[in-house]
Amino acid sequence: MVRHIIISVICIVALGACKHSLSPEEQSQAQALRAELEATRKEVAAAEADNSKYSGGAIKTLIALRLEILKTNEALVQQRINAIEAGAKITTQVATTNPDPERAKNLESELASQQKKVSEAASRADGTGGLVGAMAQMSVATETNTLSLLRQQFLVAKYGLALPKLQQNVSDVSAPAASETAGKSAQDTLIVDGNLQEQIIVPTLSHKKFAEQNYQKYIWLDVVFDASGLDKPARAVKGLIFFTDLFGENKFGLRWTIDKPISPGESYTEKGSGFQYNQFDQEHQWMLATDVKDMKVKFRVTNILYQDGTTREF
């Protein structure tokens, strides 16, 4: 479950075989990042040790979540070090971020405060057993997870790291196939199969890529969204994106949110959103094996938040 939360995906372009000569500024940043990396690896080792103590239950789930956050932090920092030492330009699969020293300073203060909370929770849990002890350990795990998340936000703010967006698989929602609407009038089709919702935003899949990162496999998608049917400027649009074969039969779906402002008639390109690949899932196998030219895509809008503050639900 936690693999869908946050996973690092930074592409390092044109890495050279040898390290280039670093400027004093690059040397300083690389040294700081290596210190961050060492500290993060120690946290990963500690989390793995904690995780091995439990065979299941809520505490193990919380620890596993912390472990994923820490591994994401480790990957982000390591890849930035590699890029600096190779002299490569970094581009992210989603919007890049700029360092925010003021926010980093505030987060550093919050980190110190949260570390104190973790220590206090650990002290309360020390030596306790039974139900009281279990609740105390839950408190420790929760406070530690908060610390790990704050640490991640600190790294993003201080070094301008950016996290990619993973979309959630659609497992309980399906769109009707083309055959279900055959022979119906246009009005009937609008009512029965939600075609109206699929005319608001028209998607085009421009690129599909399979990649392996940190022993996990992903399929990353570049999608162009054309707001040809939007009635007024939107702040965000939420919906379901369906990938079909050439005959319109649904093969795979994702829950998807367009979180960038978009106006009627405009197009918005989102690069590098995707999902974790499961080699045993037939829908995932189809997504991997099928060429982009052999796919059709449709986007069913479920919610619109307009820029004037109004909303619309379907």
CA–CA gap between residue 225 and residue 157 (Å, rounded):
29
Name the average pLDDT for the chain.
Answer: 79
Mean pLDDT of the region 11-15: 39
Same-domain status, 138 and 86 = yes
Q: Are residues 32 and 154 in the same domain?
A: yes
Whole-Å CA distances, 157 to 100, 147, 153, 170: 5, 15, 6, 32
- Shared domain check, 302 and 204: yes
Provide the pLDDT for residue 180: 39
Q: How far is CA 75 from CA 31, 33, 59, 105, 290, in A?
A: 16, 12, 24, 23, 30
Q: Which residue has the higher pLDDT, 198 or 216?
A: 198
Question: pLDDT tens digit string along 49-63?
Answer: 988 888 888 788 888
Total domains in the chain come to 2
My answer on whether 42 and 144 are in the same domain is yes
* Exposure string over 163-196, b if 16+ CB within 10 A, otherwise e: bbbbbebbeeeebbeeeebeeeeeeebbeebbbe
Question: Does the structure show a pLDDT above 90 at 190?
Answer: no
Taking the whole predicted model, whether its pTM rises above 0.85 is answered as: no
The verdict on 35 and 100 lying in the same domain is: yes
Rg of the chain in Å (alpha carbons): 23
Least confident among 49-53, 81-85, 127-131, 162-166: 162-166
Domain finish residue from 129, 159, 189? 159
Which domain range does residue 268 map to?
A: 168-313
Question: Any bridge partners for residue 311, and if so which?
Answer: 305
Per-residue model confidence (pLDDT) at position 187: 36
Same domain, 212 and 302: yes
Last residue of a domain, one of 139, 159, 179: 159
In the numeric block, the tokens 């049917």 are attached to 229
What is the b/e burial string over 259-295, where b = at least 16 CB atoms within 10 angstroms of the residue's CB? eeebeeeeebebbbbbbebeeeeebbeebeebeeeeb
**Are 10 and 149 within one domain?**
yes
Q: How many residues in the chain? A: 314
The residue-averaged pLDDT of 218-227 equals 93
